Amino acid sequence: MAAESLLKTARHSKYTSYRKILYHRFFVGLLLFIVVSLVFTVVFNALSGSAPRTNVFLPVNLESRSEVQRLEDDAPYTQPRLGNCTYWECFDVYKCGRGGHDKITIYIYPLKNYQTAKGNSVSHFSREFYMILDTIKHSKYYTPNPEEACLLVPSIDLLNQASFSSKHVSQALQSLEYWNNGENHLIFNMVPGTAPNYNTVIDLNTSKAIIAGAGFNTWTFRYGFDVSIPVYSRVAENIDSTQPKQKNYLIISAQLNIPTNYLEDLQSIASSSNDLLLLDKCKDDVRTDYSKRCEYTTGREFKYPDVLKEGLFCLMVRSARLTQAILMDIIASQCIPIVISDSVVMPFNSHVDWHRIAMVIPEDNIRNLLKIVHSVSKERRGELYWQLRWVYEKYFASIEKITLTTLEIINEKVFPLVARMYEDWNMPEHLYGPVNPLFLPVTASKSPGFTAVILTYDRVESLFTLIRKLVRTPSLAKILVVWNNQRKAPPPSSEWPVINKPLKVIRTSENKLSNRFYPYDDIETECQLTIDDDIVMLTPDELEFGFDVWREFPDRIVGFPSRLHVWDNVTNSWRYHSEWTNQISMVLTGAAFHHKIWSWYYTHRMPAAVRQWVDDAFNCEDIAMNFLVANVTRKPPIKVTPRKKFKCPECTNTEMLSADARHMSQRSACIDRFTTIFGHMALQAVEFRADPLQYRETGSGVPHAYPDIGAL
Amino acid sequence: MQAKKRYVLLFISCAFLLYFYYGSHHLKADIIQKDGHDLPSFATLDELTELPSKLKRQPTIKTIPCRMETCFDFSKCGNEPKIYVYPSDGPVSASYRKLLSVVRESRFVTRDPNEACLFIPAIDTLDADPLSPEHVSDVATRLSRLPYWKNGRNHLIFNLYAGTWPDYAEGALGFDPGEAILARASASETIFRDGFDISLPLFHKEHPERGGLPPAATGNPFPAPRRHLLAFKGKRYVHGIGSETRNSLWHLHDGNNLILVTTCRHGKSWKDLRDERCDEDNREYDKFDYEQLLANSTFCLVARGRRLGSYRFLEALAAGCIPVLLSNSWRLPFDERIDWKRAVIWADERLLLQVPELVRSVPPERILALRQQTQFLWEQYFSSIEKIVFTTIEILAERILFHKSSTRREALIWNASPGALGTLAAYGDSRSHYPIASPILPAPPAPSTPLAPLPAPSVPLAAPPPTPGNSFTALLYAQATSPALHKLLANIASSEFCEKVVVVWDSERAAPSLKSLSRLAGDLREPLPVLVIDATTHYPGEGVSARWQPLWAVPTAAVFSLDGDAPLLAEELDFAFLVWRHFPERIVGYPARTHFWDEAKTAWGYSSKWGAAYSLVLPGAALVHRAWLALYAAGAPALRRAVRRAANCEDILLNCVVAHAARRPPLKLAQRRRYKPAHSRYRSSWSDPEHFVQRQSCLNTFATAWGYMPLMRSVLRLDPILFKDPVSTLRKKYRKMELVTL
């Protein structure tokens, strides 16, 4: 083998040696290059020290807390907390939005074990704080680059006043690289103050730092600057969302640390009424067993926190601190909290409306507890009760939720345009439905008039008749013809009827029914009349009156032909009904007035599945529109003037009948389908229609305002 | 080949070296993967359930700013706070005179200082600027001399202008408010006592006492096309404070989309102190008209001036020009209850140059909502001094009510129609108790609790009924028994939705003893309960208003207010109720009337002639929400006096009250026959000209009291679907309504 290979080498020696040299040179060069650059980087890094580093920033490592930093005894302290800080004075807004961010960016300082000169840690590191930092690190706000950070979070655990030394933490904060008097720093705290004074804000020189703290009162809370958070309770996290069918107690008090004077008041209430279940520690316990509670006189034992679910109302009373961890247990158990804690700032009170989830009773009024609770109406009880679990799961359910809510509140302050509205924060859509975009109670003004939008394909003759009739309506401002035929061009302008109102033809790129509901820029009025090209039987009086009715109900569909949906018990499905009935639930958009915003909703806000269904079936766009408006406004449409024949007179052959039946079953299918997509039957049936005041009235001597109405 | 391998090996090891150098952190993290679960909790359960220590608290700060619970005496206040206005002494400005007169004519006022809960001094504190001509001197000593002053406890003091040239210090009021509640304009977050003081809007001297301008931009075109995107036209100051922002505005001005023009012309010495930009600024400034800018711009800049607030805030609001605030730390008017996020855009003075970008990125649907809200807020809370003062009082009244009974109106009642001035705080505790136009999905009921024996309460703790409910209560006003009354009662008994009948008996003769109405033969329901209330003994002196007094007996939100002889069929009662369920905020009924402006007499006229439109539906046969009747009962004393004096017009007043609160016209229903309210209590017949004259004068009294004509017109009538259609009557549900005609 060896000989053979030698032979080979010899045979190609010249060639190989040349290649060898090439390889050699190449690799030596490469090696040199790597080594040199490596040395260069190391040296450069070592020399440059804290000078601007390269763009590589490493995310903070939450696991290594071993790096020790000693604080000398004479290290400088931070400034005391500024009690009158506002967002405008103590927050450097220029740090936000750097690098094109449209949201706040947060930097977490590297974790260090700060130790006193004697070698004691200045603070314990807790699981909850770890989770806060971990949440921030994985949130959309996190940045590893301190230079572009808008908020900076010191990685010293300050959640519990008892587990850190204020003096040394102050030194540690001062030693932070970007401290700068606490500007744009965020400090989390849940248990503030120590005996005997129990300050309602963390006892620490925090200077200008924002405090996300629990238990603020209205004096220590800096309005629009600090964020009030709840005291996290680990117990609450294990409470599930199941509820008993019936609540056994009206009010439960399961808090262990109720101050004695208030406890006496409660005891006197409990002794005279069965409505209050007053629970306390179990007496036989040597060490407090927190999973048990005993009725304070009989000693009957209850399991905690399970017992909370049996109450409709549960008490949280001020104690050493203003808010208690039990509040979270109560909310998670879907028991309506009764907060008895004067001048407390409730968690997230700037955004979460506590009036919707809790009762607040002044401490003076604790004796009237029963009277106040009895006076709560059935409706309010229902509203409070159903709000609780939703709010809990949205804002309070875990450290992660609490942290993210805090950050969101700060984000909304810095970027007010992204702020969500009251309804988004406080009104679950499954309970309250969507928000009506037209909420101002007005009668729309008559002067702008309405724009007629005619969808047409090729029935030119009928179209021209319609246009000639339409222009006789006084309030018509403009006609828009949507030409839905791509193969054929609209007739030349010379052939169009000569009219005294502006007319515009829009050619569509695809023959879709949804084109009639596109919010064209050419519709300059609030009101649009959607009309089919064969609806030539409406008189100018009827149209004018229809417009006047729409003006009084500008958020509804107001139109002429109406239909009804009915539940078919045989097929267990919805059926579309076009007979002469005493009820209506839809107004067909073959001739109907509606606000332009609904066209915009139809195009941009309606579930895509509905629009897809309409375009696929080439039918039911009017039913979809009725569903859409009824779903958003929760109001039925309005039918105007008596029944008319809306079928074209010439199409009365036998073929129509079978086509009709097919048509009806398809439309029934539409109703079924839309009900599924919207999640509920949005349509409502009503028994009234709108007529002119003098309709079918004779002999009053006053001329009728809309004389030509109701002829068949 | 060996060398090749060697080099490759070297290369790989180099790569490793590099990887280790740069990527070591990742690698380490991968190896020690932890999630903090072995860490201790932040606090033990013992720590979390700490009791206050027995040690004595050491007072930390000696004087803390006032809060309601520390500086207000609730003990004197009932559910509806009474206000005592001190007798006038000394000069007051026009604005303060209007303000006092509004309070004096409100339902809150009392002449007895001993039953008062709030005190308003007649000393003009509006203008604390000694340089101003409106300034009243020596306020401090005069306040302290007030007989019930007690360091300001339970006093309400109004102030619009604090501080003076050159620094306009916010705290410089010229007196020490002590424990008095300050209702002040231009307050900053720093000086404002949160939850205690009330922030006011700054209003002009010409601001009307009542009525006020209607909102200017109630149209809701979408997308809203206005000529300019952002506008500002105002002074900038060449001396003194307050002009930093305004000085830089010219940078943003582009003459078309963004109109931001300033002038240096103000005061006396501007010419001496003017800077190099003044002439150019003045030129641009004169090109634009202020009113035109407000009407033609989507957004209006509201920049701070000498003080944080400015007149332009209300002006922009009225014009439907969405305010863009450049006034850092300003507490907006009534922000305790008004959610300004719905109506304004906050900009930051420090980020002035980002304002154009900010307003450009507001989506059109948000603009539509913001614009509507400006109009709603303007009309509801700001358009007159009366509204501003009532809003202030309403906020205080609600704080007091909240302290007493832990209820208050929801945020959504304040920030959506009908608003806080159209609802009574003490009436209900849920939105579903109020007549709200947009249907509210009712929350499912809370699980029930067992009934425990209650200590018998002295008054029944009856919560108001939910809207719209499934039935109505017939509230009859009868002065004599007649065949018509018997017929009506029989018809009510066969109505499908009537739950209870309450008869208010207003006659010298003895009330009929009626306990229930039996149903028709074949009707399996229980007899209909009837309650007869003798108005002469229960509500003496109330006059015709007594007909809506016994609301305690009404268990439904829908109240069918009926004259004793109203010729209504059961069908008509039921149809009206089914319609009303969709319009609980309106009066829905049969007899319609109209009002008109009489050019010849330059006064309002009242007519029962059948024109094309109507504006009143008489509650002789109409459904009204129970809350509106409660609001009627809490109406201004002057109006109720007018009704009592005339022994008439209560129906007109109710229409005005509802129209003023809901800003919607009533609804008239299908005409069966011409309904004549046989006002048997007036000896004159309804066609008597005397009667019309009286009603006409009522109408004018009411219009004066409100400062405008609240009634609104409608042209439509609601009929059953097949009403008078040429189809078989067998198909029709409401056939009897068509059969009888006059």
Is-contact B119 B113, C-beta < 8 A? yes
* Span A684-703, average pLDDT: 85
Closest Cα in chain A to B216: A445
Q: Does A312 sit within 8 Å of B449, measured CB to CB?
A: yes
Q: Is B196 helix (H, G, I), strand (E, B) or coil?
A: coil
Alpha carbons A276 and A312: distance in angstroms, whole number: 10
Alpha carbons B414 and A212: distance in angstroms, whole number: 29
**Comparison of pLDDT for B2 and A243, the residue scoring more:** A243
- Of A397, A286, A262, A400, give the one whose Cα is nearest residue A339: A262
Q: Does A689 sit within 8 Å of B60, measured CB to CB?
A: no
Alpha carbons A162 and A257: distance in angstroms, whole number: 18
Closest Cα in chain A to B582: A635
Asked if the C-beta of B723 comes within 8 angstroms of chain A's C-beta atoms, the answer is yes
Pair B24, B124 in one domain: no
- Of B409, B414, B406, give the one whose Cα is nearest residue B425: B409
Buried b (16+ CB within 10 A) or exposed e, B118-131: bbbbbbbbbbbbee
- Of B619, B583, B592, give the one whose Cα is nearest residue B715: B592
User: pLDDT tens, B383-417?
Assistant: 999 999 999 999 999 999 999 999 999 999 999 98
Q: Is the pLDDT of residue A51 over 70?
A: no
The domain of B93 spans 68-200
Pair B573, B504 in one domain: yes
Does B133 reside within a domain?
Answer: yes
Distance of CA A630 to the CA centre of its chain: 21
Give percent of chain A above pLDDT 70: 92
Last residue of a domain, one of B344, B379, B414: B379
Q: Does A159 sit within 8 Å of B42, measured CB to CB?
A: yes
Main-chain phi, psi angles of B389, to 5 degrees: -70, -45
Between CA B488 and CA B494, with CA B491 as vertex, the angle to 5 degrees is: 155
Does B219 reside within a domain?
Answer: no
> Considering only CB atoms, which chain B residues are within 8 Å of A596?
221-222
The confidence score (pLDDT) of residue A681 equals 94
* Span A358-385, average pLDDT: 92
Q: Does B614 sit within 8 Å of A693, measured CB to CB?
A: yes
Which residues share a beta bridge with A386?
Answer: none
How many residues in chain A?
712
Q: Does A382 sit within 8 Å of B446, measured CB to CB?
A: yes
Alpha carbons A195 and A203: distance in angstroms, whole number: 11
Pair B257, B187 in one domain: no
Closest Cα in chain B to A642: B725
Asked if the C-beta of B273 comes within 8 angstroms of chain A's C-beta atoms, the answer is no
Pair B559, B675 in one domain: yes
Identify the CATH number of the domain in which residue B375 sits.
3.40.50.2000
User: pLDDT tens, A191-200?
Assistant: 998 888 899 9
Pair B709, B574 in one domain: yes
Q: Does A583 sit within 8 Å of B416, measured CB to CB?
A: no
Instruction: Write out the two tokens for B445.
Output: 């009921």
Q: Does A86 sit within 8 Å of B329, measured CB to CB?
A: yes
Q: Is the pLDDT of residue A654 over 90?
A: no
Last residue of a domain, one of B345, B379, B413: B379
The alpha carbon of residue A375 is apart from the nearest alpha carbon of chain B, in Å, by: 6
Q: Does B440 sit within 8 Å of A160, measured CB to CB?
A: no
The alpha carbon of residue A343 is apart from the nearest alpha carbon of chain B, in Å, by: 8
The confidence score (pLDDT) of residue B674 equals 55
The confidence score (pLDDT) of residue B679 equals 43
The confidence score (pLDDT) of residue B678 equals 45
> Considering only CB atoms, which chain A residues are within 8 Å of B32?
63
Identify the CATH number of the domain in which residue B575 sits.
3.90.550.10
Asked if the C-beta of B446 comes within 8 angstroms of chain A's C-beta atoms, the answer is yes
Pair B274, B330 in one domain: yes
- Of B324, B326, B308, B187, give the one whose Cα is nearest residue B248: B326
Does the pTM surpass 0.80? The reply is: yes
Main-chain phi, psi angles of B357, to 5 degrees: -60, -40
Closest Cα in chain B to A130: B36
Average pLDDT for chain A: 89
Of B47, B411, B464, the CB nearest to A162: B47
Q: Is the pLDDT of residue A653 over 60?
A: no
Give percent of chain B above pLDDT 90: 63
The confidence score (pLDDT) of residue B384 equals 96
Pair B154, B269 in one domain: no
Which residues share a beta bridge with B97?
Answer: none
The confidence score (pLDDT) of residue A643 equals 67
Pair B95, B19 in one domain: no
How many residues in chain B?
742
Is-contact B43 A160, C-beta < 8 A? yes
Q: Is the pLDDT of residue A700 over 80?
A: no
Of A356, A381, A438, the CB nearest to B220: A438
The confidence score (pLDDT) of residue A288 equals 81
Alpha carbons A283 and A271: distance in angstroms, whole number: 19
- The single residue listed with the structure tokens 């919607």 is B664
> Considering only CB atoms, which chain A residues are within 8 Å of B362?
417
User: pLDDT tens, A294-345?
Assistant: 998 888 999 999 999 999 999 999 999 999 999 999 999 999 999 999 999 9
C-alpha dist (Å) from residue B596 to B248, B440, B646: 52, 35, 21
Q: Does B408 sit within 8 Å of A689, measured CB to CB?
A: no
> Considering only CB atoms, which chain A residues are within 8 Å of B328?
86, 88
Pair B288, B154 in one domain: no
* Span B100-117, average pLDDT: 94
Pair B155, B237 in one domain: no
Q: Does A386 sit within 8 Å of B218, measured CB to CB?
A: no
Strands B156-159 and A586-587 come out as unpaired
Instruction: Write out the two tokens for A539.
Output: 């008189």
Question: Hey, how many other C-beta atoms are within 10 angstroms of the C-beta on A120?
Answer: 10
Asked if the C-beta of B718 comes within 8 angstroms of chain A's C-beta atoms, the answer is yes
Pair B586, B535 in one domain: yes
- Of A306, A133, A338, A160, give the one whose Cα is nearest residue A235: A306
The confidence score (pLDDT) of residue A284 equals 74
> Considering only CB atoms, which chain A residues are within 8 Å of B4?
23
Is-contact B200 B392, C-beta < 8 A? yes
Does B348 reside within a domain?
Answer: yes
The alpha carbon of residue A461 is apart from the nearest alpha carbon of chain B, in Å, by: 31
Q: Is the pLDDT of residue B53 over 60?
A: yes
Closest Cα in chain A to B738: A696
Is the N-terminal amide bond of B223 cis, ω within 30° of 0? yes
Closest Cα in chain A to B662: A441
Asked if the C-beta of B408 comes within 8 angstroms of chain A's C-beta atoms, the answer is yes
Asked if the C-beta of B351 comes within 8 angstroms of chain A's C-beta atoms, the answer is yes
Q: Is the pLDDT of residue A91 over 80?
A: yes
Alpha carbons A687 and B8: distance in angstroms, whole number: 88
B526 burial type by CB count under 10 A (0-12 exposed, 13-18 middle, 19+ buried): exposed
Check the CA dihedral A580-A585-A588-A591 and report its sign: positive
- The single residue of B598, B651, B688, B725 carrying the catalytic annotation is B651
- Of A702, A692, A709, give the one whose Cα is nearest residue B608: A702
Q: Is B391 helix (H, G, I), strand (E, B) or coil?
A: helix
Alpha carbons B688 and A5: distance in angstroms, whole number: 136
- The single residue of A157, A329, A622, A691 carrying the catalytic annotation is A622
Q: Is the pLDDT of residue A119 over 80?
A: yes
User: pLDDT tens, A158-214?
Assistant: 999 999 999 999 999 999 999 999 999 999 999 998 888 899 999 999 999 999 999
Alpha carbons A164 and A607: distance in angstroms, whole number: 53
Q: Is the pLDDT of residue B704 over 70?
A: yes
Does B543 reside within a domain?
Answer: yes
Of A84, A157, A712, the CB nearest to B190: A84
Of A223, A372, A635, the CB nearest to B439: A635
Categorize the per-residue pLDDT at A4 as very low, low, confident or very high, splitting at 50, 70 and 90.
very low
Q: Does B449 sit within 8 Å of A248, measured CB to CB?
A: yes
Of A195, A355, A445, the CB nearest to B219: A445
Per DSSP, the residues of B526-584 read PPEEEEEEEHHHHSTT-GGGGGG--GGG--SSEEEEEETT----HHHHHHHHHHHTT-T
Instruction: Write out the two tokens for A575.
Output: 């059926």
Is-contact B450 A275, C-beta < 8 A? no
Of A256, A437, A690, the CB nearest to B716: A690
Of B29, B222, B416, the CB nearest to A597: B222
Does residue B275 carry a catalytic annotation? no
Q: Is the pLDDT of residue B193 over 70?
A: yes
Q: Is the pLDDT of residue B699 over 90?
A: yes
Categorize the per-residue pLDDT at A660 as very low, low, confident or very high, splitting at 50, 70 and 90.
confident
Asked if the C-beta of B420 comes within 8 angstroms of chain A's C-beta atoms, the answer is no
Last residue of a domain, one of B379, B406, B431: B379
Q: Which residues lie closer than 8 Å to B307 by C-beta, 6 or more apart?
A: B161, B162, B163, B168, B170, B185, B186, B202, B242
The alpha carbon of residue A494 is apart from the nearest alpha carbon of chain B, in Å, by: 32
Categorize the per-residue pLDDT at B97 as very low, low, confident or very high, splitting at 50, 70 and 90.
very high
* Span B437-447, average pLDDT: 74
Between CA A427 and CA A436, with CA A433 as vertex, the angle to 5 degrees is: 100
User: pLDDT tens, A591-647?
Assistant: 999 999 999 999 999 999 999 999 999 999 999 999 999 999 999 999 998 766 665
Residues 553-612 of B with CB under 8 A from A: 575, 578-579, 582, 585, 592, 609-612
Residue A492 DSSP code: P
Q: Is the pLDDT of residue B91 over 60?
A: yes
Asked if the C-beta of B733 comes within 8 angstroms of chain A's C-beta atoms, the answer is yes
Residues 235-254 of B with CB under 8 A from A: none
Of A30, A86, A374, the CB nearest to B189: A86
Q: Does A58 sit within 8 Å of B579, measured CB to CB?
A: no
Check the CA dihedral B22-B28-B33-B39 and report its sign: negative
Which residues share a beta bridge with A593?
Answer: A529, A558
Does B217 reside within a domain?
Answer: no
Alpha carbons A404 and A140: distance in angstroms, whole number: 10
The confidence score (pLDDT) of residue B3 equals 63
Does B393 reside within a domain?
Answer: no
Is-contact B198 B66, C-beta < 8 A? no
Distance of CA A8 to the CA centre of its chain: 77
Categorize the per-residue pLDDT at B433 as very low, low, confident or very high, splitting at 50, 70 and 90.
very high
Radius of gyration of chain B (CA): 33
Which residues share a beta bridge with A210?
Answer: A186
- Of B569, B368, B398, give the one whose Cα is nearest residue A600: B368
The confidence score (pLDDT) of residue B20 equals 54
Residues 211-240 of B with CB under 8 A from A: 218-222, 225
Pair B243, B371 in one domain: yes
Q: Does A690 sit within 8 Å of B718, measured CB to CB?
A: yes
Instruction: Write out the two tokens for A659.
Output: 């086509």
* Span B671-686, average pLDDT: 49
Question: Hey, how many other C-beta atoms are within 10 angstroms of the C-beta on B5?
Answer: 9
Of A34, A372, A422, the CB nearest to B14: A34
- Domain total in chain B: 4
Does B724 reside within a domain?
Answer: no
Which residues share a beta bridge with B85?
Answer: B120
Categorize the per-residue pLDDT at B683 as very low, low, confident or very high, splitting at 50, 70 and 90.
very low
User: pLDDT tens, A12-45?
Assistant: 555 556 677 777 777 778 778 877 777 776 666 5
**Comparison of pLDDT for A134 and A56, the residue scoring more:** A134
E strand segments, A134-208? 151-153, 186-189
> Considering only CB atoms, which chain B residues are within 8 Å of A218?
67, 194-195
Between CA A526 and CA A533, with CA A528 as vertex, the angle to 5 degrees is: 170
Q: Does A582 sit within 8 Å of B721, measured CB to CB?
A: yes
Asked if the C-beta of B56 comes within 8 angstroms of chain A's C-beta atoms, the answer is yes
- Of A406, A344, A414, give the one whose Cα is nearest residue A186: A406
Does B58 reside within a domain?
Answer: no
> Considering only CB atoms, which chain B residues are within 8 Å of A699?
none
Q: Is the pLDDT of residue B37 over 90?
A: no
